[in-house]
Amino acid sequence: MSPVTAAAPEGTHALDDDRVLVFDLLRATEAAALATARLLGRGNDDEVDAAAVDAMRPVLGTVPMRAVVVVGEGENDDSPMLYPGEHVGSGHGPLVDLAVDPIDGAGLTARSLPNAMSVIAVADRGAMFDAGHVLYMDKLVIGPDLVGTVEFDAPIEDNLAAIARERSVGLGEVTVALLDRPRHTELIGRIRAAGARIKILLDGDLVGALMAVQSDSEVDLLIGTGGTPEGIIAACAVQCLGGAIYGRLAPRTETEARQARDAGLVLDRVLSTDDLVRGDNVYFAATGVTGGELLRGVRFSADTAVTSSLVMRSRTGAVRTIETRHRLSTSTLFPTGS
């Protein structure tokens, strides 16, 4: 494991003292969702990305925390992106690691497709895995009842059969979520040949991971190669909801692999949930931008907007779905009095 920073020194303000911190984080995801929902269907991914960061950044500056971005966007010269290694927060409060995706699904938003959302997670300083420049990983995400039943390196056919046995259903009732990418063509064929169902994700597999660990979801398993940042954020959600995520770094080039090895990363190691984010002190907040199975999208009227969000805390096991009505001023896209 290669955390981006050392653990917080003794005597500092502890994250577990901040029971309402998740609601401060919620203000940031709501702001990003409100800003990006205004750009629905315009076809410009970069415009959506920029709007999300521009809306989220000033809110993060007011949150009572001393955070270092472990999972972010861009590099430190890609202003105004929230880049890995950047320090954000009000300058007082707990020392934390921050994983942030101001808009998970910029392309979905730009094309008016479902399941785009704004996401933030925090954990104690030094808790989150630092994957360096390795942007992709092979992943498997399951719910609590399947831990010990499904194996990361097992053939997909064996895992599907194990899920069907554990849940006392036929293979035709097992549903696998994965990204619609050419790299998954063979895997998709094997899943179909086994008789299981497939939920194709157009962009961003975080929503699939969240669905896989929820008992009332149609998704039994998320599998495939996707973004490493999304994997770490998913691990934060898994710490709150239960279940497990397993992953293995998947460098795209030999140069990327060499950089990873030089950074001390072991490329053939199977990473568990606790490897990706340690401890039980994790906060998670997500707000829907476009509607989907997990969250409703932003709904606008003449002078108000309604957002749908999910907030969680691992230590208490609290999971809340929150709908917020925002009064919009005539001069800004952002809510007043929030």
| Residue 19 pLDDT | 66
Q: Each residue of 253-283: pLDDT tens digit?
A: 999 999 999 999 999 999 999 999 998 899 9
Q: What CATH architecture applies to the domain 136-276?
A: 3-Layer(aba) Sandwich (3.40)
Q: Each residue of 296-334: pLDDT tens digit?
A: 999 999 899 999 999 999 988 899 999 999 998 744 444
Distance CA 177, CA 230 (A): 15
Confidence category of residue 335, pLDDT binned at 50, 70, 90: very low
Q: Each residue of 185-237: pLDDT tens digit?
A: 999 999 999 999 999 999 989 999 999 999 889 999 999 999 999 999 999 99
pTM: 0.90
Q: Does the annotation list 104 as a binding residue?
A: yes
Domain ranges across the chain = 18-128+281-327, 136-276
Distance CA 254, CA 274 (A): 27
Q: Does the annotation list 230 as a binding residue?
A: yes
Q: Each residue of 94-142: pLDDT tens digit?
A: 999 999 999 999 999 999 999 999 999 999 999 999 998 899 999 999 9
Average confidence (pLDDT) over 233-254: 96
Confidence category of residue 4, pLDDT binned at 50, 70, 90: very low
Confidence category of residue 180, pLDDT binned at 50, 70, 90: very high
Distance CA 221, CA 214 (A): 10
| Residue 133 pLDDT | 86
| Residue 75 pLDDT | 58
Counting residues of the chain whose pLDDT is more than 70, the rounded percentage is 90
| Residue 215 pLDDT | 85
| Residue 77 pLDDT | 43
Average confidence (pLDDT) over 26-54: 96
Q: Does the annotation list 173 as a binding residue?
A: no
Q: Does the annotation list 17 as a binding residue?
A: no
**Which numeric CATH code is attached to 18-128+281-327?**
3.30.540.10
| Residue 337 pLDDT | 40
Q: Taking 70 as the threshold, does the pLDDT of residue 52 lie above it?
A: yes
Confidence category of residue 336, pLDDT binned at 50, 70, 90: very low
| Residue 204 pLDDT | 86
